[in-house]
Homo-oligomer: A and B are copies of this chain.
Amino acid sequence: MNRYDATDALAVACLRALSLDEIDTANSGHPGMALDIAPTLYLLYRDLINADPKRPSHFGRDRFVLSAGHVSALLYAMLHLAGYDLPLDELKKFRQLGSLCPGHPEHGLTPGVDATSGPLGQGIAQAVGMAMAEKALKARFPGSEDALSHRVYCLSGDGCLEEGISQEAISFAGLEKLDNLLLIYDRNGSTLDNPTSVSMEENVALRFEAANWRVYEVKDGNDLEEIGNALHEATSPDEKERPTILIVNTTIGFGSELSGSHKCHGSPLGFERSARAKKVLGYPYEPFLVKEECRTRLRETFAARGKLILDSKDEAMKSYLALHEEEGEKLLSALKGEIVLPPREVYELKEKEATRNASGRYLNLLKTYLPSLFGGAADVAGSLKSDLSGEKLFLPESRAGKNIAFGIREFFMGAAMNGALLSGGLRTYCGTFLVFSDYMKAAVRMSALERLPAIYLFSHDSIAVGEDGPTHEPIEQIDALRLIPGLVDFRPADGREVVAAYEYALERKDGPTAIILSRQDLPLLANSSIDKAKEGAYRLEEGNDVELLASGSEVSLALEVRKLLLEKGIEAAVVSVPSFNLLQKMEKVPFKLPYERRIAIEMDTAALYYRYAKNVIAMDSFGASGKDKEVIAHFHFDAESVLERVLDLMQAC
């Protein structure tokens, strides 16, 4: 007996038709994959995803990430039919300003969209991060499994698998044995420019097996029975050791005149061709007409099951809370994203310390106050000082481990932590050397796009790295981070400013913070202030002849230069700028001298300072390999050289 009947076929046809209607109305979008993968997506919602359209943020729900974000039209059609609060009127405004149906899925905008996607590959990595978070949170609260358990589903095309980040994610998911993850790969044989025969001739099944994944395959992506069976097997609860991929072989643009051609990947078919395709597909109706039985079928299956299951999870949560009072409070607090900061007086300030060390000590203090802490580094934890001491690695045999050894996979690291934050209940951090923020830039941007309170730790923040040389010395990275809309930079000058950076980052709810740390020792400043640092910039010393602006290691340099200037009878004010982004938001900037008499000092491009200072002492080349002090002197950033440059600039004014 067939499990699926004419109504299911109609619902699939309706999904396809709605997708075409959206795309044609907007005259923009990606019909090819929407047409080919519709049956699979339909059955995923009908049979598997446990979620309640009325409670789209419930922690216990299954997550769905459309890694192939360009197929948003299909997702919106699906969410509409599935009963989410996404009226047809919104679908009619697909890709129009102000619509709930933008060009690519945006988390936080559209109910039922669990992640922002579109930049290829990052959806898979975010899904892996979600699956990690599910494991991690449950393990921290034994007994909560029935309340918290859920699966993560992800749909990708060829593009996501071509992007390198997918391999980082695949390899890591296999290592972590994330059996709560199902990746569906729509193999339609086409990317935007070409058939995949000219760009991806690999054996995908073998590639996943090599990474310890379980592999299933659907031969005919239009055969509901075959898809349904495969989905069922691919989510077998007997599997405890491996994540699963389901390869679904499809024909791009199925049902349309461009079926099988990459030409229907990224261009609308147009109303006429769509009308013919809709007829072929069994849905010969006017645009945006939705047969009620399609909605009803999903109400009876997806929505009904979701309600039951989430109700049972609520019950399980009640039981858990009743049995585990103290832990239960912690869990609820974590799920709400509440933060408990260490009292400032508990944190020891050291007279001389690299800010990476000060950061490490703060993290290790924080872990006793904030049980939801979860993070790690891209194989530089030892240098970044980011390990939580006494805590295990997060591994299959130690799911409660709080330290993540991401391996040398920066981009995945950032995207996975975005996924963990989207998942909820955990407060993440991750980091690497500042120069390698380049490798993960697109994930940092995604944190900002998703308004996630991600914390990035970037150490070895200047040419003071020394021996490793120009490939490892950041020059333009600080400015590059400062440019990202919504990100807040912190480059602390000492231990107090490190505390400021963490407090700001942790109190933040709506965007990422990058904490930029020195490799070398820095002195504790006499006049530094946690509270003032959190404002963005503040005055450390007064002086009426020239105003020096600096951040991080260059603040103590500026103070040293100030002393040398004083010996010459020149009075320099010094302004610490721990956060350039916050400075830009200050109602009243803390400068007293006119623009022409301000000089910024930073051992990097420092190109944004021209907004506040006529002169900038900066790097205009890559660094060099050598002893740190020699490299610094070579680029004229020792106090004597900076003194000379300041004097020259003052004369020129």
By a beta-carbon cutoff of 8 Å, the part of chain A in contact with chain B is 26, 28-29, 69, 95-99, 102-104, 106, 116-121, 158-160, 162-168, 171-172, 174-175, 191-194, 196, 198-207, 209-212, 377, 379-383, 393, 395, 405-412, 435-436, 438-439, 441-442, 445, 448-449, 466-472, 475-476, 479-480, 482-486, 605, 607-608, 610-611, 619-622, 624-627, 630-631, 634
Contact = CB atoms under 8 A, between A and B. Distances in A.
Contacts of A171: 162, 200, 202
A368 B377 CA distance: 50
A103 B483 contact: no
B480 A483 contact: yes
A634 B102 CA distance: 15
B622 A485 contact: yes
Contacts of A409: 162-164
A99 B466 CA distance: 13
B445 A98 contact: no
B164 A486 contact: no
Contact of A486 (B119, B191, B202, B622): B622
A620 B210 CA distance: 44
A475 to B, nearest CB: 6
Given A395-B198, A449-B622, A471 B117 contact: yes
Given A117-B471, A201-B212, A202-B174, A625 B485 contact: no
| Count of chain copies | 2
Nearest to A475: B485
Nearest to A165: B164
Contacts of A382: 192-193
B408 A120 contact: yes
A408 B156 CA distance: 13
Contact of A611 (B441, B610, B619): B610
B192 A202 contact: no
A403 to B, nearest CB: 10
Given A200-B175, A382-B193, A625-B95, A163 B164 contact: yes
A293 to B, nearest CB: 32
Contacts of A610: 608, 610-611
Contacts of A211: 202-203, 207
Given A198-B393, A381-B193, A621 B486 contact: yes
Given A405-B194, A408-B162, A99 B625 contact: yes
B167 A164 contact: yes
A106 B193 CA distance: 36
A118 B435 CA distance: 11
Nearest to A623: B485
Nearest to A482: B607
Contacts of A380: 192-193
Contact of A468 (B104, B210, B438): B104
A328 B215 CA distance: 52
For the complex of A and B, 6 pairs with smallest distance between CB atoms? A164-B164, A97-B626, A199-B407, A167-B167, A102-B625, A206-B210
Given A203-B211, A206-B209, 16 more contacts: A26-B467, A97-B630, A106-B469, A119-B471, A121-B164, A162-B379, A163-B168, A163-B439, A164-B167, A175-B200, A192-B379, A193-B381, A210-B210, A479-B483, A485-B605, A610-B610
B607 A469 contact: no
Nearest to A435: B119
A198 B406 CA distance: 9
A210 B199 contact: no
Given A206-B209, A212-B201, A412-B164, A407 B175 contact: no
Nearest to A451: B622
Given A174-B201, A202-B175, A622-B449, A95 B467 contact: yes
A6 to B, nearest CB: 35
Most chain B beta-carbon neighbours within 10 Å: one of A471, A607, A608 = A471
Contact of A608 (B159, B607, B619): B607
B210 A204 contact: yes
B634 A377 contact: no
B472 A476 contact: no
B210 A203 contact: yes
A193 B28 contact: no
A633 to B, nearest CB: 9
B449 A470 contact: yes
Nearest to A171: B202
Contacts of A468: 28, 103-104, 118
A470 B104 CA distance: 8
A605 to B, nearest CB: 5
Nearest to A585: B620
B476 A163 contact: no
A183 B411 CA distance: 24
Contacts of A383: 192
A483 B164 CA distance: 25
B467 A28 contact: yes
A622 to B, nearest CB: 5
A605 B207 CA distance: 41
Contacts of A442: 436, 438-439
B626 A164 contact: no
B95 A193 contact: no
26 contacts: A96-B626, A97-B625, A97-B627, A98-B626, A99-B626, A102-B625, A103-B625, A106-B470, A119-B471, A163-B439, A164-B411, A175-B201, A191-B408, A198-B405, A204-B210, A207-B211, A439-B441, A445-B476, A475-B485, A476-B484, A480-B483, A483-B607, A485-B605, A486-B622, A607-B607, A608-B608
Given A102-B625, A607-B611, A624-B97, A199 B469 contact: no
Contacts of A210: 202-207, 209-210
A408 B102 contact: no
Contacts of A619: 485
Contacts of A438: 441-442, 445
